[in-house]
Amino acid sequence: MKAKLKTFFISVRNRWGVTNSIKKSKESSVEILGNILYTSIRIKGNSKVVIGKGCRLRNASIKVRGNNNRVELEEGVFFTGNIELFGDGNSIKIGNNTRINGADFIVHNGTNVEVGARCLFSTKIDVRTTDSHGIYNADGERINLDKNIYIGEHVWIGRMVSILKGARIGNGSVIGSMSLVSGTIPNEVIAAGVPAKPIKNNISWKE
């Protein structure tokens, strides 16, 4: 009985609590099974936000503008930061029990970001699938197209790391503070630098 009451009161606070603000279009949907505080959710268009069971959002902002977009935080995610999906057909998925202590995710123009389970993000991290502004050649063709980002399972991202469009980070790897990831990082390495490159192989890490 106590567990049911607790779940009920959390659901009421999530939706109507003074610290949270949820505004959405009529055709969009927001499903909150976790616990949010000081969080803002804004959706314009036909899109969906799913916050899984056991998730905790603190000082978070989710902005979605366009159609057929999806934000999904799987079970047990802790998230502080900002998520922005602009355009149609974008998605972000954050895996079970990943902890993000301060990151901005910018996802535009039909791209997606996937973050695996049990990852650990430090603070002031920037993840973006886009350059935000188009660059064109002499024929008027855009040459800086937006690209997907993939981050594997059990990845540790250090403070002030930038992860750019097209980046792929393998399972079990560690990215050193203030690095810039623009290419592919293999599994189970420490990578650092601008651009980030492996500096140690066959590593493992524990929280």
Query: Is 206 a member of any domain?
Result: no
Query: Is 51 a member of any domain?
Result: yes
Q: Are 165 and 111 in contact (CB under 8 A)?
A: yes
Query: Amino acid letter at 199?
Result: I
d(CA 189, CA 168): 13
Give the residue numbers spanning the domain of 10: 2-201
Identify the pLDDT of residue 19.
86
Query: Is 65 a member of any domain?
Result: yes
Tokens at residue 170, please? 């393998």
Number of domains forming the structure of the chain? 1
Query: Is 32 a member of any domain?
Result: yes
Q: Are 129 and 149 in contact (CB under 8 A)?
A: yes
Domain at 164, CATH number: 2.160.10.10
Residue 3's Cβ-count burial label (10 Å; 0-12, 13-18, 19+) is exposed
Identify the pLDDT of residue 8.
61
Segments of the chain scoring below 70 in pLDDT:
1-17
Identify the pLDDT of residue 85.
98
The strand pairing partners of 161, in sequence order, are none
d(CA 177, CA 157): 7
Identify the pLDDT of residue 132.
86
